[in-house]
């Protein structure tokens, strides 16, 4: 006598959870802070610009001080004060417009060499409009590529990438 196949019990239907939405693609260039920042300051000692480095790692303030000789763009990171020639804002913007494409930031301390072709290297070059360092305080002249481009973004002059490393900037 042939055997009957065993009866299988049907499993009750279980609703599957909805699939997770796909992750958004990683941004390479963020919306300019000028379009998103609130209460970012007026660039004076009393109401400084409140900025964040391109990678989002540090907050700092900047303001113009035309009473200094030469007039300076003052950058305060914690208790450390850096000063750059005030003309660096217009000079960097003009250089980026002439360059016409993305340029790496290349931030480096004063005693470390700056990578060629970066904003940092240009900020030290004898070929820039001030003929050398934009930084005014010996020992604190570096990091031009870290602190000045976010200000230009705040002012609406450039586009700046906001990745963990290797950020770039270009003129608007």
* pTM for the model: 0.76
| DSSP class of 151 | H
Give a yes or no: residue 79 inside a domain: yes
Q: Which residue bears the tokens 């003052």?
A: 74
Query: Residue 157: its pLDDT value, please?
Result: 97
For the cut 50, the answer to whether the pLDDT of residue 114 exceeds it is: yes
Q: What are phi and psi of 119, to 5 degrees?
A: -60, -40
HSE (CB half, 13 Å, CA atoms) of 81?
Answer: 10
Give a yes or no: residue 67 inside a domain: yes
Q: What's the CA gap between 151 and 115, in Å, rounded? A: 21
Q: What is the pLDDT of residues 130-170, one digit of tens each?
A: 999 999 999 999 999 999 999 999 999 999 999 999 999 99
Give a yes or no: residue 1 inside a domain: no
Q: Which residues span the domain enclosing 112?
A: 33-162
As for how many domains the chain has, the answer is 1
Q: Is 80 helix (H, G, I), strand (E, B) or coil?
A: strand
pLDDT bracket for residue 17 (50, 70, 90): low
Give a yes or no: residue 24 inside a domain: no
Give a yes or no: residue 23 inside a domain: no
Cβ neighbourhood burial of 141 (10 Å; 0-12, 13-18, 19+): buried
The CA-based diameter of the chain, rounded to the nearest angstrom, is: 110
């Amino acid at each position: 006598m042939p055997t009957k196949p065993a009866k299988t019990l049907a499993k009750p239907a279980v609703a599957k959870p909805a699939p997770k939405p796909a992750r958004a693609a990683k941004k390479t260039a963020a919306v300019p802070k000028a379009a998103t920042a609130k209460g970012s300051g007026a660039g004076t000692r009393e109401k400084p610009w409140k900025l964040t480095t391109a990678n989002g790692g540090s907050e700092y303030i900047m303001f113009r001080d035309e009473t200094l000789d030469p007039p300076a763009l003052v950058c305060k990171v914690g208790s450390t004060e850096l000063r750059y020639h005030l003309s660096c804002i217009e000079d960097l913007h003009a250089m980026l417009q002439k360059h016409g494409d993305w340029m790496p930031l290349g931030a480096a301390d004063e005693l470390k060499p700056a990578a060629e072709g970066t904003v940092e290297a240009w900020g030290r070059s004898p070929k820039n409009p001030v003929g050398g360092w934009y930084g005014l305080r010996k020992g604190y002249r570096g990091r031009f590529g870290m602190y000045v481009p976010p200000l230009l973004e705040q002012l609406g002059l450039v586009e700046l990438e906001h990745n963990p490393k290797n950020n770039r900037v270009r003129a608007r």
